Amino acid sequence: MTEGIDAHVHLWDRALDPQDWIDPGTMAPIARDFGAADLKAMLAATGLHRAVVVQSSNSVEESVRLARLDPAVVAGLVAWVDLTAEVDPQLDRIRRDATVPVVGVRHLAHIDPDPVWLLRSDVARGLEVLEREGLCFDLVLRDWQLPQAALLSGRHEGLRFVLDHLGGPPVPGQDASAWAAGLQGLALRPNVVAKVSGLVSGLAPRSWHAKDLADRVAVALEAFGPDRLLYGSDWPLAELGGGATAWKEAVDELLAGLSDVEREQMYGGNAAEVYCFF
C-alpha cells in the first residue's frame, strides 16, 4: 500500500523564525510554535504517515533548520532560496547536514511587492538551476496570477511546477469563474500538478461543509485528473478553519467517487512521484 503523505504542512519556531503575519487576536489557534512532535500527532489523527514541509518565511536560515527535521515524519522539504541571486551556494548551505531531502523551492509570490515577480528574467535564471537540480518549484499565488503561472510553466517545460492550494479559489458563495478559467488554462501545461489544500484556512470553524467546496474540487479533478493532484492539509493553518482532521474528512467525502487506486495516488503516490522520494 502507498505511504500516506500530506504534501503541504508548515512548522515554525517563532523565536528563530518570526511569523509576523500571524495576528494573535484573529489567528489564536496558530499563534504558537509547531514542531515535529505536533506534526506526528496531526499525521496520526489524519491517518497519514509523513509530510512535505513547506517554507513559511523567505529565509535560507529557516530552510537550514527545517532540513534537519526527523525523516521519520518529514519526507521532504520545499525550501526557500533567493532565485534572483546565486542559487547553488544557497542550496549547498541548506543541504549541508540535512536529514531530509530538499525536494523543491518556493517563494511567497502571492505577497511579493513585484506583481510580475514570476516573469522576471533574474527569476528565470534561478528556475533554470532548479531544473538542472531536479527540484520542483511550488507556486503560491492569488487567482489573478494563474495566467502568469501558465506562461511561466510554458517557458520552463523541463521544470515541474506544483500549484499550492489550487491557486487560491474564492471562498464559497463568490464567483469562481475567473479562477476556474485560470486553473483550466494552467492545467493544460503537462509539467504542472496541483495540491488540494488550503481551501478552509480562511473560513471560520463550523461555517462550512464539504459540499460547499465540492465545485472547486470538481473543477480541479476535471482539469488535472486524480493523477496530477496531491492532498495537503496546509496544517497548522488548517486549524483556522476547524482543524486538519475536519479538512481530511471533507476531502475523503469529496473524493468518494474515485477508485481506491486514484485515492491512494492523491494521498501519497503522486507526492512521492512529483517530489521524487520513495
What's the confidence (pLDDT) of residue 161?
Answer: 98
Query: Rg of the chain over CA atoms, in angstroms?
Result: 17
Domains of the chain (ranges; CATH) run: 5-274 (3.20.20.140)
Mean pLDDT in order along the chain per 10 residues (278 residues): 92 95 96 97 98 97 97 97 98 98 97 97 98 98 97 98 97 95 98 98 93 97 98 98 98 97 97 85
- The pTM assigned to this predicted structure is 0.97
Distances, alpha carbon 253 to alpha carbons 109, 136, 215, 221, in Å: 31, 29, 13, 14
Per-residue cell: 208: 462550512
Q: Could you write out the DSSP letters of every residue in 216-231?
A: HHHHHHHHH-GGGEEE
What's the confidence (pLDDT) of residue 2?
Answer: 81
What's the confidence (pLDDT) of residue 1?
Answer: 62
Summarised one tens digit per residue, pLDDT across range 73-121 is 999 999 999 999 999 999 999 999 999 999 999 999 999 999 999 999 9
Q: What length is written for the chain?
A: 278
What's the confidence (pLDDT) of residue 188?
Answer: 98
Distance (Å, whole) CA 219 – CA 202: 20
What's the confidence (pLDDT) of residue 276?
Answer: 84
Distance (Å, whole) CA 170 – CA 163: 16
